[in-house]
Amino acid sequence: MKRKIIESKTITGFFCLTPEEMQSLEDLAGRFPLESFLSNDSFVGKFGIDFVHVSARIAGNDYTMIDTLALLEYGITAAKKFSHVEMILRLREAWETLIREDLAPEAETARRLHAILCKEELPEKELEAIFARCGGRGDPFELGVCLHCGILGLGGCAGHTARLMLNVALKSAGKMLWIPGAGRISRYRAAAELCRLRGACAEFASCLREDYRETVDLLLDATDPQRAEEEGREILRRRKV
């Protein structure tokens, strides 16, 4: 049966996000510049592992964070399915491509990332329809959510591609990347189904906002000299006990 691409019908017509949601995400993005993230190898590595791990778990991969770290940092595989190992390695390659290159939010980018992530190809006609519908949206968050929800509807392992393309839209506009939260996997899956089956983006927009705020807060904490000094004093205090 041919899959149907469904328009997102929200209170703003055919837009995925309300103006208030767009502004809220824009405000969060302004708190931590993308350049500061990309220029810090530690941030890129740490949050890259988070992105890979959570994306894999969303897709049903049973690798724990410890398993994922052992595989990506030391090449140690857990006694689990080879397909789960392959998924994680493919996700890391796609993440590194996102970070390393200046990718445009266009159909060719989706095809290229999907070729890294999955063995099957994306259906050409449906993919072009998604980009025709989403391409004119000027706000990068609106564009990213539109692409995410549209590509999700293609099924298979297109969910990985959908999550990467949301970040392509953000990075190409100079906005901080989206890192899905490990504590919201079940909620994300439910929200993704609403996007895929009904074209309803509200619940996903809520997840995105919470994930975004959590990531920005973690980054700000990590770059706060006062907080780092306090943590250093606490470590020294514990060593003396």
> pLDDT value at position 9?
33
pLDDT at 237: 52
Q: Are 43 and 79 in contact (CB under 8 A)?
A: no
Kindly state the average pLDDT of the residues 209-223.
93
Which of 148, 203, 195, 196 minimizes the C-alpha distance to 170?
148
Neighbours of 233 (CB within 10 A): 10
Tens-digit pLDDT profile for residues 143-182: 999 999 999 989 888 999 999 999 999 999 999 999 999 9
pTM of the model: 0.87
- Cα–Cα separations (whole angstroms), residue 224 to 44, 184, 230, 232: 18, 26, 10, 12
Query: So where are the chain's domains?
Result: 19-240
pLDDT given at position 241: 38
Per the prediction, the chain carries an average pLDDT of: 87
CA distances from 122 to 52, 95, 118, 129 (A): 21, 19, 9, 12
Better pLDDT: 79 or 84: 84
CA distance 87 to 227: 37
Architecture in CATH for domain 19-240: Orthogonal Bundle (1.10)
pLDDT confidence of residue 198: 77
